[in-house]
C-alpha cells in the first residue's frame, strides 16, 4: 500500500525526547492462531453488485477448509459490515452461528479431523464499511470496489469488509470470484479472467480465478463501466506475461502514458529480485485519493494520478514491487510490516536506479535519510524498532521510509552481489508464505553466509540510530608507511545499545590531496583501528559513499568559486569570500548530541540534538563565512532541529566552537546573530572566517551553580543510590530534567517533567550521574549513584 501523503499525514506531535523504544526480546509477535488449526484452501465468492443506488452488497461465499488438528467442531470467520443471513454445510444443511468479536462462529454440526476437507457457505447482505482514511468496501454512483487494508483500524486486514474469511496475513488460499453486474458494467478482479455469463434478467456474471495462494487482504474486486487494455510483457525467460489495465474509456490514454515505464519496472524488479510468479500484471483505476493498494494482479490505483504524466510513477512501481515484497512473501504480523512496505519503498529507489542510474538512487536515499533523522521519531511518536512498530503507527514513516533506509544499509553491509542474489533466494525459498524479522535474518544469513545477527540487533530490533565519528587520529611512522590509528566513537540517538561491527568506508587525506580509502568497523562506544597509509593524513572522515545510514548527513565539495553554496545536507550555507585555488570542504551535520562542555560551571547549555564538523583541504587563499540556521519550531521545514534546546526566547543563543576534541568548547570569536523575531525560535548564527573544527549551538547563562538545588529547593532523588529506578521530585518547576553521566554525556532527558518524574535506571551502568533540572531562570542539579 502506498499512502499518497504519508509524510504529511502522520503528524502526531509528541514532543518528548527520550522515548527510547528499545530492543524487543526477539520473540515472535502474537499472531492469529486460527491458522494453526484450520487451513482455508479455497474461497468461492459470489457477489451481486448491481445495486448502485442503495450501496448494498449481496453475496454468498463458500469457504473450503481442512483441519490441521483433530476434533474441529466450529469455525470462527471475520465479517464486518454486511449481516449474515444463513450458513450452510457442504450438503446444503443449515448450520447455527453466533456472533464473534470480528464476525461470527459457526457450529459445524460434526467433528472434523486432519485429512478431512469440508466447507461452509455463508449468505450475507448489507451496507459496507470504510476506514475514515483508507480501506474497506466503497460504493459511489459509478464504482464499487474494495481496498484490502485499513489505515486506522486494528487489525488492519480488511478482507472481512466484503467476504467472510480468516482475515490475517498467514492463511493463504486460492479464489474463484463470480461477480454479477449490470450489463453496462464490468468487473476487474484479481487473477485470471475465466468468462462472462449472461443471466436471464440481462445481468452478467463475470468469473475470475486466482490460482496462487494469497491472504484475504490481497483479493480484489472493482466494478464500473470499465474497458480493458490488454498487452503483454516478456519475462526473463522470454515468456509472455499478460498485462491488463482496467479504466474508464476516457482514462485509458492518460493511464497508458503514465505507465510507459511499467515494463521497465517489471524488468528492473525481475532482474534484482527474481521471476515474477503471478499469472498477469494488472491495475484498475478507482476513485481513491488516499493511496494505492497492491491487490494481487489487480492493483487498485487512484484515477487522479493516472493523469498522463510520470509524476506518480514511483507509486506505480511501488505497487508492482509488492508482487515480490508483500504479496509473494508477507509479513506474519503487522509489527513486521517493514518486510512489505519498507521493501516496497526501497523498490522505489531501485526503480529509480534502474531508470536513471546510481546517482539518482543515491540522491533519493540521501534526501529521505536526512528527513528521517529530523522527523521520523516525531511523526511516529517515538524511536520505534523497525520490527515492533506499534499498530497505531503501522503505516507511518518508520515502516516505509526508515524501512527503506535500513534495507539500503543492509545492501551496504552485504555489497550488491550478495544483497540482490541473497534476496532473490530469500524470496524463492519463502514464496507464497509469511515471514517475520527473525526468519528473515536467519534465512538471509544462511543464504549469504554473512552473519546478520549484528545488523538485525543494531538496525531492525532497536529503534533510533547509531552515530559514529572519528574522535582522533594517532600517527606513527613505520618504514616508508605510516601506521594511522583511527579512534572511533559511537553515540546513541534514541536508543540504549551500542552497535557492533558497523562497516564504514574510511577516507584519509592530506593537504596534497593524497587520498587513502578502506573499510573499517565500529564496535561499542569506543574502538580503534590501525591502518597503514603511504602519507601522513591531516584529517579523515567516514561513510563518504553513504552506504550506511547512521546519524550523520554530510556534504563533500570542491570549491573553486566565491559566492554562496547551499550545503543542504549539512544544514549550512557556506559563503565563500576568497578562493585562489581549489579547496576541498567537508561539512558533517551530526544528528547526535555534541560532547559536553567540560567547564560544567561556565553556564553553557549545549544542544542535546546536533553539531557540525567542518574540515577539508584548505589553503591560505581561502576565506569563507558559515551560516548555521537554528529552529526550535515544531512545524514546517526546519521543525525539530533544535526544539529540545530552544524552548524560550532566542536572545541567549550562542555559537560554540572547538578546533578538535582535545579541547573544551568556547564561544566562537567572530560571529553575528540574526535572531529576527526573538520569540519565533528561528534564525541564524553566522561565523565570520570559519575555521576547521566542531560547531554547536548553545544557550548561555542558564546553568547557575553547583549547590543551588541543595540550598534553594527541596529537590530530592529517591532512592539514592538507585537500583532499577529513581524518582526526581522538586518544588522548583523544571522545564526539563537532564541526566548525564560522570563524564557529562547525556543519558536521558525529559521535557516538562512536572513535580515528580520517574526514570528507569535498570539499563544504566553502575556509577555516578548528574541530575539537572532546568527552568527559565535557573538550573539545579544533584548527584545520583546507580548501584545495580
Element spanning 112, H or E: strand 103-112
Supply the minimum distance, in Å, between the C-beta of residue 304 and Zn ion.
18
Supply the minimum distance, in Å, between the C-beta of residue 106 and Zn ion.
33
Nearer to Zn ion, 219 or 344 (CB): 344
Element spanning 143, H or E: none
How many C-beta neighbours within 10 Å does residue 364 have? 18
Nearer to Zn ion, 2 or 467 (CB): 2
Supply the minimum distance, in Å, between the C-beta of residue 266 and Zn ion.
17
Is residue 504 a contact point for Zn ion (CB under 5 A)?
no
Supply the minimum distance, in Å, between the C-beta of residue 397 and Zn ion.
13
x/- letters, 297..336, toward Zn ion (CB under 5 A): ----------------------------------------
Nearer to Zn ion, 1 or 281 (CB): 1
Nearest-10 crossing angle of helices 416-430, 403-414: 120
Supply the minimum distance, in Å, between the C-beta of residue 733 and Zn ion.
46
Nearer to Zn ion, 434 or 694 (CB): 434
Nearer to Zn ion, 341 or 694 (CB): 341
Supply the minimum distance, in Å, between the C-beta of residue 344 and Zn ion.
4
Is residue 1 a contact point for Zn ion (CB under 5 A)?
yes
Supply the minimum distance, in Å, between the C-beta of residue 3 and Zn ion.
8
Is residue 288 a contact point for Zn ion (CB under 5 A)?
no
Nearer to Zn ion, 218 or 738 (CB): 218
Residues near 122 by beta carbon (within 8 Å), at least 6 away in sequence: 60, 61, 62, 63, 77, 79, 84, 86, 87, 164
Distance between CA atoms of 462 and 502, rounded to whole angstroms?
14
Strand partners, 211: none
Of positions 95, 120, 170, 344, contacts Zn ion by CB under 5 A: 344
Nearer to Zn ion, 344 or 747 (CB): 344
**Cα separations (Å) of 437 from 95, 319, 404, 442?**
41, 22, 15, 9
Distance between CA atoms of 583 and 565, rounded to whole angstroms?
13
Nearer to Zn ion, 255 or 344 (CB): 344
Cβ-count burial 229-253 (b if 16+ within 10 Å, e if not): beeebeeeeeeebebbbbbeeebbe
Distance between CA atoms of 506 and 537, rounded to whole angstroms?
12
Residues 607-666 that bind Zn ion (CB under 5 A): none
Q: In 380-402, which ranges are continuous DSSP H helix? A: 397
Strand partners, 291: 3
By CB under 5 A, the count of residues binding Zn ion is 4
Of positions 2, 408, 411, 424, contacts Zn ion by CB under 5 A: 2
Mark the segment that binds Zn ion (CB under 5 A) among 1-9, 142-150, 536-544, 600-608.
Answer: 1-9
Supply the minimum distance, in Å, between the C-beta of residue 326 and Zn ion.
7
Mark the segment that binds Zn ion (CB under 5 A) among 95-103, 341-349, 402-410, 450-458.
Answer: 341-349
Contact present, 4 and 291 (Cβ < 8 Å): yes
C-alpha of 124 from chain center: 39
Supply the minimum distance, in Å, between the C-beta of residue 653 and Zn ion.
42
Supply the minimum distance, in Å, between the C-beta of residue 268 and Zn ion.
17
Supply the minimum distance, in Å, between the C-beta of residue 169 and Zn ion.
14
Contact present, 535 and 61 (Cβ < 8 Å): no
Nearer to Zn ion, 174 or 285 (CB): 285
Supply the minimum distance, in Å, between the C-beta of residue 485 and Zn ion.
46
Closest among 239, 238, 256 to 247, alpha carbons compared: 256
Nearer to Zn ion, 316 or 520 (CB): 316
Element spanning 499, H or E: none
Nearer to Zn ion, 348 or 353 (CB): 348
The gap between the terminal CA atoms of the chain, to the nearest Å, is 46
How many C-beta neighbours within 10 Å does residue 357 have? 10
DSSP one-letter code for 118: E
Cβ-count burial 702-726 (b if 16+ within 10 Å, e if not): bbbeeebbeeebebebeebebeeeb
Nearer to Zn ion, 423 or 559 (CB): 423
Mark the segment that binds Zn ion (CB under 5 A) among 339-347, 464-472, 683-691, 723-731.
Answer: 339-347
Mark the segment that binds Zn ion (CB under 5 A) among 338-346, 527-535, 685-693, 708-716.
Answer: 338-346
Distance between CA atoms of 131 and 745, rounded to whole angstroms?
46
Mark the segment that binds Zn ion (CB under 5 A) among 177-185, 340-348, 725-733, 774-782.
Answer: 340-348
Report the interface residues with Zn ion, using CB under 5 A: 1-2, 341, 344
Amino acid at each position: 500500500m502506498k499512502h499518497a501523503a504519508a509524510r504529511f499525514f502522520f503528524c502526531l506531535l509528541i514532543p518528548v525526547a527520550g522515548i527510547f523504544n528499545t530492543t524487543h526480546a526477539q520473540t515472535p509477535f502474537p499472531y492469529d492462531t486460527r491458522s494453526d488449526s484450520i487451513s482455508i484452501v479455497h474461497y468461492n465468492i459470489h457477489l451481486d453488485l448491481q445495486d448502485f443506488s442503495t450501496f448494498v452488497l449481496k453475496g454468498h461465499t463458500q469457504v473450503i477448509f481442512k483441519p490441521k488438528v483433530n476434533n474441529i467442531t466450529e469455525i470462527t470467520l471475520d465479517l464486518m459490515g454486511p449481516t449474515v443471513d444463513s450458513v450452510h454445510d457442504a450438503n446444503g444443511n443449515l448450520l447455527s452461528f453466533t456472533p464473534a468479536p470480528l464476525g461470527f462462529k459457526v457450529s459445524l454440526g460434526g467433528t472434523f479431523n486432519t485429512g478431512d476437507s469440508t466447507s461452509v457457505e455463508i449468505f450475507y447482505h448489507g451496507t459496507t464499511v470504510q476506514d475514515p482514511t483508507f480501506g474497506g468496501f466503497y460504493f459511489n454512483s459509478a464504482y464499487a470496489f474494495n481496498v484490502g487494508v485499513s489505515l486506522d483500524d486494528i487489525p488492519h486486514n480488511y478482507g472481512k469488509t466484503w467476504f467472510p474469511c480468516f482475515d490475517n496475513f498467514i492463511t493463504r488460499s486460492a479464489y474463484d470470484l463470480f461477480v454479477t453486474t449490470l450489463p453496462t458494467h464490468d468487473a476487474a478482479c484479481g487473477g485470471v479472467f475465466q468468462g462472462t455469463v449472461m443471466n436471464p434478467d440481462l445481468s452478467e456474471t463475470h468469473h475470475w480465478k486466482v490460482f496462487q495462494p494469497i491472504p484475504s487482504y490481497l483479493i480484489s474486486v472493482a466494478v464500473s463501466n470499465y474497458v480493458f487494455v490488454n498487452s503483454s510483457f516478456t519475462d526473463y525467460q522470454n515468456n509472455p506475461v499478460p498485462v491488463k489495465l482496467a479504466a474508464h474509456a476516457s482514462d485509458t490514454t492518460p493511464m497508458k502514458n503514465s505507465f510507459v515505464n511499467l515494463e521497465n519496472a517489471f524488468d528492473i524488479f525481475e532482474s534484482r529480485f527474481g521471476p515474477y510468479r503471478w499469472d498477469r500484471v494488472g491495475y484498475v483505476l478507482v476513485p481513491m485519493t488516499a493511496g494505492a493498494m497492491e491487490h494481487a494482479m489487480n492493483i487498485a490505483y487512484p484515477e487522479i494520478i493516472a493523469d498522463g504524466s510520470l509524476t506518480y510513477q514511483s507509486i506505480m512501481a511501488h505497487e508492482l514491487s509488492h508482487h515480490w515484497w508483500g504479496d509473494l512473501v508477507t509479513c506474519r504480523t503487522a509489527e513486521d510490516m517493514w518486510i512489505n512496505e519498507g521493501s516496497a519503498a526501497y523498490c522505489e529507489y531501485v526503480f529509480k536506479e534502474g531508470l536513471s542510474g546510481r546517482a539518482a538512487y543515491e540522491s533519493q536515499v540521501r534526501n529521505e535519510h536526512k528527513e528521517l533523522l529530523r522527523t521520523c521519531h516525531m511523526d511516529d511518536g517515538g524511536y520505534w524498532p523497525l520490527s515492533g512498530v506499534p499498530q497505531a503507527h503501522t503505516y507511518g514513516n518508520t515502516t516505509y521510509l526508515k524501512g527503506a533506509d535500513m534495507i539500503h544499509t543492509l545492501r551496504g553491509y552485504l555489497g550488491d552481489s550478495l544483497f540482490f542474489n541473497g534476496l532473490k533466494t530469500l524470496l524463492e525459498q519463502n514464496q507464497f508464505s509469511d515471514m517475520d524479522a527473525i526468519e528473515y535474518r536467519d534465512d538471509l544469513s544462511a543464504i549469504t553466509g554473512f552473519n546478520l545477527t549484528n545488523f538485525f540487533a543494531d538496525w531492525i530490533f532497536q529503534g533510533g540510530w547509531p552515530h559514529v565519528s572519528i574522535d582522533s587520529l594517532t600517527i606513527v611512522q613505520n618504514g616508508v608507511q605510516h601506521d594511522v590509528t583511527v579512534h572511533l566513537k559511537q553515540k546513541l540517538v534514541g536508543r540504549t545499545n551500542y552497535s557492533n561491527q558497523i562497516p564504514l568506508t574510511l577516507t584519509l587525506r592530506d593537504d596534497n590531496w593524497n587520498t587513502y580509502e578502506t573499510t573499517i568497523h565500529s564496535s561499542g562506544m569506543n574502538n580503534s583501528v590501525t591502518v597503514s597509509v603511504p602519507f601522513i593524513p591531516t584529517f579523515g572522515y567516514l561513510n563518504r559513499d553513504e552506504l550506511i545510514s547512521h546519524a550523520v548527513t554530510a556534504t563533500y565539495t570542491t570549491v573553486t568559486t566565491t559566492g554562496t553554496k547551499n550545503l543542504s545536507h549539512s544544514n549550512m550555507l557556506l559563503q565563500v569570500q576568497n578562493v585562489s585555488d581549489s579547496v576541498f570542504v567537508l561539512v558533517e551535520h551530526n544528528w547526535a548530541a555534541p560532547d559536553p562542555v567540560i567547564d560544567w560551571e561556565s553556564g553553557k547549555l549545549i544542544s542535546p540534538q546536533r553539531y557540525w564538523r567542518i574540515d577539508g583541504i584548505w589553503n591560505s587563499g581561502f576565506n569563507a563565512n558559515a551560516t548555521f540556521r537554528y529552529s526550535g519550531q515544531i512545524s514546517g521545514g526546519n521543525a525539530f532541529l533544535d526544539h529540545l534546546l530552544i524552548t524560550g526566547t532566542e536572545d541567549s543563543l550562542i555559537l560554540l566552537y572547538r578546533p578538535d576534541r582535545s579541547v573544551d568548547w568556547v564561544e566562537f570569536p567572530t560571529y553575528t546573530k540574526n535572531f529576527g523575531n526573538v520569540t519565533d525560535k528561528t534564525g541564524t548564527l553566522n561565523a565570520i572566517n570559519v575555521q576547521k573544527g566542531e560547531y554547536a549551538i548553545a544557550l548561555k547563562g542558564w546553568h547557575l551553580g553547583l549547590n543551588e538545588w541543595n540550598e534553594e529547593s527541596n529537590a530530592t532523588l529517591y532512592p539514592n543510590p538507585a537500583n532499577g529506578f529513581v524518582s526526581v521530585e522538586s518544588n522548583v518547576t523544571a522545564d526539563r530534567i537532564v541526566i548525564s553521566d560522570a563524564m557529562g554525556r547525556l543519558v536521558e532527558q525529559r521535557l516538562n517533567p512536572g513535580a515528580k518524574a520517574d526514570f528507569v535506571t535498570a539499563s544504566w551502568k553502575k556509577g555516578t550521574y548528574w541530575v539537572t533540572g532546568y527552568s527559565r531562570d535557573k538550573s539545579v542539579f544533584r548527584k545520583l549513584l546507580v548501584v545495580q
